[in-house]
Amino acid sequence: MTGDIVARRYAHALFAIGREQGLEELESYGRTFDKLTGLLDQSQDLERLLRAPVISAGEKNAVLDKVLKGVDASPIMFSFCHLLAEKTRLPLLRAVAAAYRTQLDEAKGVVRGTVVTAIPLDRRREEELAASLGKKAGAQLVLGFEVDPDILGGLVLHLGNTVMDASLRAQLRALIDTIKRGE
C-alpha cells in the first residue's frame, strides 16, 4: 500500500472514533493535527526524530507525550499518536493530518481552495470575494490567496480538482487561438 492510502485509512479510523463523540470532538482532533503539523514546520529536529527508524517507538512516545501535553491533546489523540509510533507510521503524520482535514471539511460542508490574482488584495476584498464565490458555489469556502503577476489580471480559482481560469492571460490566449483559426 502506498503512504497516501495508509494515511487515509488511519485518518478514516480516527474520524470514525470521533464521529461517535460528535462534531466538537472531530474538530478537537483537527485542531490537534493543526498544532502538531505547525510544530513539525517549526522544528526540523522534531520531524527528524519522529521519522528516524533507529529511534524506538518507546523513545518516540516519550517525546510525543511532551509534545501532545503542550498542545492540550485529548486522550484519544495520545493513543492515536502512540499507535502511529508503534506501527512505524509517524512519517505519515502530515499525510494523516491532511486526510483527516479533508474528511472533516467534507462532514462540515467546507470546500478549500486558492485564489490567484495579479496583485495583492486587501483583507476586505478577500472576504468579499470569498463570500461571493461561496454563495455561487453553494458551500462554505475557505480560501487562500496568492499573487502571480504573470496572469496579468482577473483571477484563477482552484477548488479541489477544479480550476476556473478567469485571468486576462487566459482570455488573451483564447483570443490569439481564435485569430489563428481565422474565426
Q: What is the pLDDT of residues 54-83, one digit of tens each?
A: 999 999 999 999 999 999 999 999 999 999
Per-residue pLDDT for 9 more than 90?
A: yes
Task: Give the C-alpha separation, 181 to 183, whole Å.
Answer: 6
pLDDT exceeds cutoff 60 at 151 = yes
- In this predicted structure, the answer to whether residue 181 has a pLDDT above a threshold of 90 is no
Mean pLDDT of 147-169: 88
Do 118 and 148 form a contact (C-beta atoms < 8 A)?
A: yes
Q: How many residues does the chain have?
A: 183
| Residue 109 falls in which region: left (phi positive, over 0), alpha (psi -120 to 50) or beta | left
Residue 1, pLDDT > 90, answer no
